[in-house]
Amino acid sequence: MDEELRQRLEAIENRLSALETRFDVAADQISGKDFLPQPPSYTPEKPAQNQWWQVPSAQRTVSEKLGIAEKTGGSVESYIGRWVLGVVGIVAVIFGASFLLKYAFDNNLIGPAGRVALGIIGGLIFVALGEFFRPRLAKYSYILSGGGLALFYLSIYGAFHFYGLIGQETAFGFMIVVTIFGVALSIWADAVELAGLAAFGGFLTPFLLSAKVPNDMAFFSYLEILALGIFATAFFKKWHQLTLLGFIGMMINFASWYGGYYDSSRLVTALFVLFMFYATFLLASFAGNVMSRHVSDPGDLFIFTINPAWFFGWCYFLLQRESDYERFLGFLAAGLGALYIFLAYFANALNKEDRRLPMFLGAIAVVFLTIAVPLELDQNAITIAWAVEAAVLFALGVILQNPGMRIFGVGVLVIALIRLSSFDSGAGDLVNFLPIFNRRFFTYFMTIVASGVMAYFSVREREKFSSFERGISLFLGSLVNLLILIIITMEISTFFDSQINDLNRKAMLELERGARRAPITQQTTPPYLQVPYQYEAERRIQQSQEYQSLNNQRNASISVFWTIYAILLISFGVMYQKAFLRWWALGLFGLTIGKVFLFDLAILPTPYRIISFMVLGIILLLASWFYFKRQRSLENIAAS
């Protein structure tokens, strides 16, 4: 027993010694220089780029523009206390000063020059207070400085309008100086709010100093110079929201000029001014986004959208009232479409980080090209032009590897198909109908060619398509087959309809001749109760053997065509190893079988039943023999 205890104690002592040795080594390592682990290398992750279809929220955009953190449940009380009370306070002070000056004016305590001087001095005091508080309370200082600029504008307006102390040109010059001072102050204080207020005052100046006699050149030159100043400030300070404010001010001023002074003699002036403003905003916005490597936000995209819409809308409104110039609208829309195609290309080449802008510009181009077609073309030519446009857009989208352009192409094709089925599928003049060589067939043919080109590109470059586009090739291939089936079926049907129409016309002529030959005393039916010739002719024709024969020939011909077309689909499906075509053939065989067994069997007489059933049966047996013979090869193709 003692020996066993002694052995256990020795074992425990050995373990303790081993533990002490390990702790000593650990202590030595702690005191060494190499013990502390090196901080792991950290490579900051690059923020994920938004996809071209993802647009940041308005809250995020405003937060980035104003340099403030996104709202995370901030205090409403703080916002009301800082901004609402401050803005209302400065407005109250301006109103109070106005009432004080009015009281002094009414009681002749201060002369006109003194009144204007007090307003200017008050403005200077507010600007000085704003600069005094800016290092400590920047946002509060903007309220004070903005109130000072407002007093400057009101004082100059009062000196011109109420007291006549200065002329229009002098007042105009003073307000320009105030606007320049406001912009310079905003740049100095790095305050976009002051720049916006100065721009607002600049656009308000023409309203404050308007005269009964218009001066178009001075008015629009002033607006153009003001717009260029706003763009320069927005570009160098990266205050892109100023561009939106400038555009809105320009729109309001032009609309005001049109309502007050426009007449037909000013058409050329109005168009020139519209183009000048449009080009200015387009180039400024494009340069601001591309040259500064700025990723477009919702405000930028809004400018790119509303600017051409505003320009083309005004041009359409002005030109459609002048019959001599209305024909130019289609060329204008096509020119705008071509312009935006080039802009989309350059935007993609110069600023590859911004995926949304090229797509947006491309979409605008598609809209204008689509609008140009009905403005210049008529009837079936509209559908043909839309179908060709869709094919061109889709092909360019494949070549440039631009998925958005491909989707736009499919969208335009859908519009063309809607018009094709709604307006261009009528039989037309049955008297002069000629199979194949008619307007409807040519329209379908061009649509089929356009769809076929798109289907070819979708199959050839299928591996490069996104998952969203994988079904486009199936859609386009099915569309080509469906359009071929529809147009040939309609041509067959319309051919026999034209033959029936000839019978109807002959019957009407016979009825008219018989009515003219019969004396009035032999007419047993009163004239006001006589059946119209056309209705009576149709009733007689539908009961005739000739009509029944033509109708039966039409039904049998359609069944035979469907069967032959199914055979062609199977042949091409095997030749090019396309299961898609073979499945289409099987589906068409099923449709033909249903027509023959359900419709032809009930309607057609015995000779035509024999033709339909024999042709269908023989072709089905050949198809079945083909599938038996090719069973192994088809299964191997499917497995691979």
pLDDT in tens, 4-37: 667 777 777 777 777 666 655 555 554 444 444 5
Look at residue 274 in the predicted model and tell me its pLDDT: 92
pLDDT in tens, 366-387: 888 888 888 777 778 888 888 9
Can you give the pLDDT at residue 66?
43
pLDDT band at residue 444 under the 50/70/90 scheme: very high
Q: Is pLDDT above 70 for 546?
A: yes
pLDDT tens digit sequence for 451-479: 999 988 888 887 777 777 778 888 888 89
- What's the first-to-final CA gap in the chain, in angstroms? 80
Q: Which of 185-199, 308-322, 525-539, 586-600 has the highest mean pLDDT?
A: 308-322
The Cα 401–Cα 466 span in angstroms is 10
306 vs 638, more confident: 306
Per-residue pLDDT of 25-81, as tens digits, reads 555 554 444 444 555 554 444 444 444 444 454 445 444 544 444 444 446 666 666
How many C-beta atoms surround the C-beta of residue 337 within 10 A?
20
Band of residue 418 on the pLDDT scale cut at 50, 70, 90: very high
- Quick one: CA torsion of 36, 37, 39, 41, rounded to 10 degrees? 150
CA distance 381 to 394: 20
Q: Can you give the pLDDT at residue 529? A: 41
pLDDT score at 601:
65
Per-residue burial over 389-427, b if 16 or more Cβ lie within 10 Å, else e, is bbbbbbbbbbeeebbbbbbbbbebbebbbebbeeebeeb
- For residue 376, the model assigns a pLDDT of 75
Full-prediction pTM beyond 0.85? no
Residue 630 has pLDDT above 70, yes or no: no
Distance CA 234, CA 303 (A): 14
Q: Which residue has the tokens 């702690």?
A: 30
Mean pLDDT of 518-541: 53
Q: For residue 484, what pLDDT is reported?
A: 92
Instruction: Please state the rounded mean pLDDT for residues 493-507.
Output: 82
pLDDT digits (tens, 9 = 90+) for 117-172: 877 887 888 778 877 877 777 777 777 777 777 777 777 777 776 667 787 778 77
